């Protein structure tokens, strides 16, 4: 179940399919793959999950945002999630070491990365005093990250302005209201926001707002900086889970794994457009600098 769109998830799905092939599962030979796209619309999750249950697939692979809908739809079909911010807190699994039930997968540690992201923003903007948080409240899956942002912001003495949206159409209007009210924009990981990352970055640039993102794909689409798990690597590791389950393993016996590969990506062209002089020490630490 693709919580985003073919355009945004395509490279990640390709990494997943490639890894399955390396493990001996070839589409059209000994494997059939069906993909449904929710296009960032959380109301589609339950509908797609119900369809997959009717079709009696052997495994459902989905993002953390849509995994709850899949779990509610079936206790029999194994579910592998990835990009889950807080799988224990949201009730997807009983614990990371012993998930139990029919669900397992990969966390993206979004809560644990908040402090590092805010520190990076302070390097980019030495006089940083306030940040706006862009969150899709319609999805209801960013609570843990928001709690971590509030906690880290208090420690860094940063003021928070929360920008809540429910639809893609809310992005431009919402970001426009932030102009002159805050120093930077922090984007919370979510399928709707991921699908609309070009729209977000175009609006943020017009409002003269530096942006912090959860993944490199946002920076490739014009964002300023990202720090987070490498999504293609996570999708490859999700294929390892699928392989084990197809060979007889029970999902409840497979511990939830944390990311092992993280990327710091900076868009130098966006920095120049914003009139920002990035510290050489920061550029030297980046895994990729987009010129």
pLDDT tens digits along 86-131: 888 888 999 999 999 999 999 987 778 999 999 999 999 989 999 9
Of 241, 264, 247, 11, the C-alpha closest to 113 is: 264
| Range of weakest confidence among 141-155, 197-211, 222-236, 253-267 | 141-155
Integer-rounded Cα radius of gyration of the chain: 19
Copy the structure tokens of residue 191.
């399928």
Q: What is the reported pLDDT for 10?
A: 87
Question: Is the confidence at residue 246, as pLDDT, over 80?
Answer: yes
Of 34, 70, 23, 67, the C-alpha closest to 50 is: 70
pTM: 0.87
Domains recognised in the chain with CATH numbers? 6-108+230-261 (3.40.50.2300), 110-228+263-290 (3.40.50.2300)
- The pLDDT tens digits of the residues spanning 46-64 come to 999 999 999 999 999 998 8
């Amino acid at each position: 179940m693709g919580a985003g769109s073919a355009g945004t998830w395509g490279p990640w799905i390709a990494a997943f399919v490639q890894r399955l092939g390396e493990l001996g599962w070839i589409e059209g030979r000994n494997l059939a793959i069906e993909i449904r796209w929710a296009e960032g619309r959380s109301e589609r999750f339950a509908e797609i999950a119900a369809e997959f249950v009717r079709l009696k697939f052997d495994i459902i692979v989905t993002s953390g945002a849509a995994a709850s809908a899949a779990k509610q739809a079936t206790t029999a079909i194994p579910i592998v999630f990835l990009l889950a911010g807080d799988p224990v807190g949201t009730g997807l699994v009983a614990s990371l070491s012993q998930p139990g039930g029919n669900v397992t997968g990969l966390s993206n540690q979004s809560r644990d990365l908040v402090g590092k992201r805010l520190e990076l923003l302070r390097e980019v903007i030495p006089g940083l005093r306030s940040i706006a948080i862009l969150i899709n409240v319609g999805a209801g899956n960013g609570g843990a990250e928001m709690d971590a942002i509030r906690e880290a912001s208090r420690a860094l003495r940063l003021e928070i302005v929360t920008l809540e949206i429910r639809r893609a159409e809310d992005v431009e209007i919402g970001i426009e209201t932030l102009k002159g009210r805050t120093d930077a924009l922090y984007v919370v990981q979510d399928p709707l926001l991921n699908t609309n990352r070009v729209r977000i970055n175009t609006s943020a640039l017009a409002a003269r707002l530096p942006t912090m993102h959860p993944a490199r794909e946002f920076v490739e689409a014009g964002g300023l900086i990202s720090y987070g798990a490498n999504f293609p690597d996570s999708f490859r590791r999700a294929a390892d889970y699928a392989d084990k389950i197809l060979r007889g393993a029970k999902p409840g016996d497979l511990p939830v794994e944390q990311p092992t590969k993280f990327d710091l990506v900076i868009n130098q062209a966006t920095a120049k457009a914003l009139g920002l002089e990035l510290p050489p020490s920061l550029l030297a630490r980046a895994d990729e600098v987009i010129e």
